[in-house]
Amino acid sequence: MVAFTLTNIKEFMSQLLLSETFDSFSFIEGEIVTFNTFRIDGYTQKDFFDTGEELPEYSLWKSVRDYCFSLIRGKRTPLSFRFVFSLSRKNIGKLAAQTVPTLDPDSVQGLYLNIHYDGSHLSCVTGTSFKTFTMDKSLERAWDEMVEKIFLQKNIAYEKM
């Protein structure tokens, strides 16, 4: 687990809401507080769709980004918001294969990115969850490093907490 303070809120919000930077992440849940509190469960409601194709357990951020943007944009800054993302199942498998080839990717519950804005400060905390107990922290360290690399590649200003 690594905690970051995101020091340029405006730039990060542009990356989050107006670009494809986080589009490939699974959207687990979110909450936006403006004139009301809006809670969004990212769990895919498969009965809503007519398709016979297999759908992911959670929606991708790109599917809900515009909706979240519509709640946040305006003349007034939100009182707060929080989003929980996870690396997609496919990318968890890739990272696990690169880091711990003996690890079964299905034993990973999620590699999370928790973004929180409290009205004045924006922070991001990584998290790792396994379905079974493991002492090996290799995947957790690789995930923390991957998030930091994403921030560097996208010129997202941060300080480690």
Domain that holds residue 41: 3-160
Tell me the pLDDT band of 121, cut-offs 50, 70 and 90.
very high
pLDDT at 51 over 80: no
Q: For 66-105, what is each residue's pLDDT tens digit?
A: 999 999 998 899 999 999 999 999 999 999 999 988 888 8
The letter for the amino acid at 71 is L
Q: What is the pLDDT of residue 114?
A: 98
pTM for the structure as a whole: 0.93
Q: Is 11 exposed, middle or buried (0-12, 13-18, 19+ CB in 10 A)?
A: middle
Q: What is the pLDDT of residue 53?
A: 77
| Count of domains observed in the chain | 1
The secondary structure of 2-66, three-state, reads: CEEEECCHHHHHHHHHHCCCCCCCEEEEEEEECCCEEEEECECCHHHCCCCCCCCCECEHHHHHH
Averaged pLDDT, 144-156: 96
